[in-house]
Amino acid sequence: MNTYKSRNEVPENEKWNLNDIYPSLEKWEEDYRHIEQIAEKLKEYDGHITDGSSLFQYLEQKEKLSYLFNKLYAYAMLKTDEDTRVTESQSYVDRAKQLSVKISSSTSFFMPYLLSLAEDTLKGYVAEEKGLKYFEEDLLESFRYKPHVLNKDKEEVLSHLGEALSAPSHTFGMINNADIKFGEVTGEDGDRVELTRGMYAKIMEDEDRSKRKEAYKAYYQPYVQLKNSIASTLSAAIKNNVTMAKIRNYPSALEKGLFGDKVPKEVYENLIETTKNNIGPMHQYIRIRKDKLGLEELRQYDMNVPLVKGVKPVITYEEAYETMCKALSPLGEDYISTLKEFKTLRYIDVRETPGKRSGAYNLGIYGVHPYILLNHRDDLDSLFTLAHECGHGVHSKLSSQHQPQITARYSIFVAEVASTVNEVLLINYLLNNEKDEEVRKHLLNHFIDQFKGTFFTQVMFAEFEMRTHEMAEKGQPLNADVFNQIYERLFREYNGNEIIFDEEVKYGWSRIPHFYRPFYVYKYATGFASAIHLATKILEGDKETLNSYLEFLKSGSSDYPLELLKKTGVDLTTPYPIENSLKEFRELVEEFGEL
């Protein structure tokens, strides 16, 4: 594996080309000034939108501003992520953020104005100004929120409370990222070293069980010590959410959380119920894990260690790209030629270098193209990450090509579908082409663990959120003991009775940042299940599914997420797609057990 001491050492063709956004910083500055001017202009519309023509002019200007601002912000962010230590890049991000505040304040009058109109008046404006046809669906979508928007004075009061309401989330972020210290553990050469999150994930895969146990205890210790403070922030976040749902006239906090995507609460409940009705193979996998590790007692810190030892295939970036293109060939020639463009036209930043942002992501920029950040390490995980992010990338590219700006961005609800379809096609290709039994076992183990993390764990989290919000709605107390009881009960239901409980297990709730963004994690599970369902059909050679899936990738947000998925044959209002993907999980576990 290549390790680079600086970004300059990385070959040009493995670095993204930001000139496609701005050929020079002067152009960036030019757009900055232009956006400021448009924002000032938009402010002048306050109180002066009186007919279809003025409404159209406002919306047209605002869309132009969005287009320019997205480019401007994306450039600053991508530049910063190349090397987060460079203060000049950081200053561009700071300036873009300040500009965003200016834009918000210039346009804050519009939503209350729009919702003060009678629906007939708005329809009259659309009829008199044909340019408004383009914005019509968006305008009427805003009307869906009308029952949940208060009068101008009350809305203003709520806008002032924004910062106070986000305090629990902010406090948890500070505790979790800035204040928590995990103490010391034994390092590779026997010295005591400070435990970090990144190190913890690595040690949990270490074959030395005493090291895993030591890291596990050290990792949870600060959470257990701070249990009452963290319970207080989580309880406040839940109660704030419940209160806001009441103030805004939603039947429940859950329904408020699902409203934006127009998802009925039955979809959420069905996900949990169907998963629990089919939980057997998950328990079976944990029994296999216990047997394979040869343990008298299986514990939480034994859950991440790979079951197949000594399999670490080296896969260069070139090989990974080639393998990915072969694996995704069932998606057709157009899909593959789009993928090849990503590499030759330098949409991807490949290598890990000092100061570069960790992890991986895809960022679609309308009117330009997607950019993908990787930290490629020439291993199996990196191959999967490449396929995953390229799934998002092609989804962004096709939606931008086939949709106008207003509907080009897809919602998070459908985002994970495109990335996971790629991963399923990849694992299938690798299993079909791998002769080495040990590598096959390793691949199956990798996919089962991914299924466990992306699907079962997220459903368990989703149920935890639902139960705790229901308690708050009934006025029941929420504290560390209550959270412990709920989390422990759910953990046992989802993972079975093979795991011996250490005291730390029930504190799992205390370290999950997603709980401060309520009713969000279930989307990982529905996206994953939808993707398994689609990939299975595509691999069976179902042409209709393939064609409807490729159409789905071009659809952006031209319809609500559930409707877009229905067009591909995935109906999440029924148990079928969830049952189908759980059947796939059962088959994986059975095959792994036989091997």
Active site residues: 389
Distance between terminal CA atoms of the chain?
A: 31
Q: Which amino acid is at 321?
A: Y
* Of residues 176, 179, 170, 166, the one with CA closest to residue 512: 176
Question: Cα–Cα distance between 579 and 250 in angstroms, integer?
Answer: 30
Question: Cα–Cα distance between 204 and 211 in angstroms, integer?
Answer: 8
3-state secondary structure of 84: coil
Neighbours of 182 (CB within 10 A): 18
Contact 594, 286 (CB under 8 A): no
Q: What is the DSSP letter of 506?
A: G
481 CB contacts (<8 Å, ≥6 apart)? none
Parallel/antiparallel/unpaired status of strands 370-376 and 361-364? antiparallel
| H or E element that contains 375 | strand 370-376
Contact 392, 418 (CB under 8 A): yes
316-320: long-range contacts at Cβ-Cβ below 8 A with a sequence spacing of 24 or more?
316/378, 317/14, 317/350, 317/376, 317/378, 317/382, 317/386, 320/376, 320/378, 320/382, 320/383, 320/386
Contact 419, 389 (CB under 8 A): yes
Question: Cα–Cα distance between 10 and 2 in angstroms, integer?
Answer: 9
Question: Cα–Cα distance between 192 and 575 in angstroms, integer?
Answer: 51
446 CB contacts (<8 Å, ≥6 apart)? 380, 384, 427
Contact 285, 452 (CB under 8 A): yes
Work out whether the CA dihedral 23, 24, 26, 29 comes out positive or negative: positive
